[in-house]
Amino acid sequence: MKKNYHYYLAYRIIMVLILLIISILIINKNKNFNLVSVFASERELPIYSVERDDKKIAISFDAAYGDEYTQDILDILDKYNVKTTFFLVKFWVDKYPHQVVEIHKRGHEIGNHSATHPNMSTLSKEQMIEEIMTTHEAIYELTDEEPILFRPPFGDYNDLLIKTCRELGYYPIQWDIDSLDWKELGVQPVVDTVVRNVKSGSIVLFHNNAKYVREYLPLVIERLQEDGFEIVPISELIYYDDYRIDNSGRQKPNK
């Protein structure tokens, strides 16, 4: 009986070693094999920034409440020959249709920022689609262009939202630099936050009705341009095919 047990134990050890050798051979054959991915599913992520070496960056404005400074923003952008991306909520579009038309007329990109500014991760798929597509239609009606970028309110998302956006032909967009203009700390804190943290491929978050936007925006643009950065709309920054998004949300081309 004892002898049979030893034979059985030896058999088990040999089988484990064989399986280990086979696994090593498979891993060596496929250098991209990731053992962790076998046991853990990857979270779906939006684009926070983009891997680039040409010093292109994007600045963006979320518009949900108020339009007091919108014309000033557009004039400042014109002065520095900068085109950017405005993410609009549907109730803002409905309240200020003339501003939507003017933003588009000045050559800026318009993105989708939901219909009612909810926490998107709390919604069902059907509700997500309604939030996105009713805003999509409102923007298209005023501009005759279909938006392709979606930024979730509060930066709140889950896997379902990211997958739903992609199914609808949208690229979900976050940011890697929050200017913190919404905290109303003054002009210099916004300038410092952006200039000290920006890098090629960065996406910067501003708000169209931030208290000091008329003061900080010219300073930020001047500093960025002095440092050799080219400011472009987000749609000119991102990749559309053959890319991956790493665990920090940085979009990278597959090479």
Q: What pLDDT, on a 0 to 100 scale, did the predictor assign at position 40?
A: 41
Task: Flag whether pLDDT at 252 surpasses 80.
Answer: yes
Indicate the domain borders of the chain.
2-39, 49-253
Which residue type does 12 have? R
- Give the pLDDT band of residue 116 (cuts 50, 70, 90): very high
For residue 11, what pLDDT is reported? 62
pLDDT in tens, 161-184: 999 999 999 999 999 999 999 999
pLDDT at 13: 72
Query: Where does the pLDDT of residue 30 fall: very low under 50, low under 70, confident under 90, or very high at 90 and above?
Result: very low
Q: What is the pLDDT of residues 235-245, one digit of tens each?
A: 999 999 999 99
Indicate the pairing of strand 56-63 with strand 85-88: parallel
Cα separation, 121 vs 155, whole angstroms: 10
pLDDT band for position 14 (cuts 50, 70, 90): confident
In angstroms, rounded to a whole number, what is the distance separating the alpha carbons of residues 217 and 84? 12
- pTM (two decimals): 0.83
- Which active-site residues does the annotation give? 62, 207
The pairs formed by 43-46 with CB atoms below 8 angstroms and a separation of 24 or more are 43/159, 44/158, 44/159, 44/162, 44/163, 45/162, 45/245, 45/247, 45/249, 46/152, 46/157, 46/162, 46/165, 46/171, 46/172, 46/173, 46/174, 46/245, 46/249
User: pLDDT digits over 62-112, tens only?
Assistant: 999 999 999 999 999 999 999 999 999 999 999 999 999 999 999 999 999
Strands 149-150 and 171-172 come out as parallel
Write the pLDDT tens digit of every residue in 35-46: 443 344 578 999
In whole numbers, what is the pLDDT of the chain averaged over residues? 90
Q: Which residue has the tokens 């070496």?
A: 53
Distances (CA, A) of 2 to 10, 11, 15, 120, 203: 13, 14, 20, 63, 69
Residues 68-79: tens digit of each pLDDT: 999 999 999 999
| CATH no. for 49-253 | 3.20.20.370
Q: Is 232 helix (H, G, I), strand (E, B) or coil?
A: coil
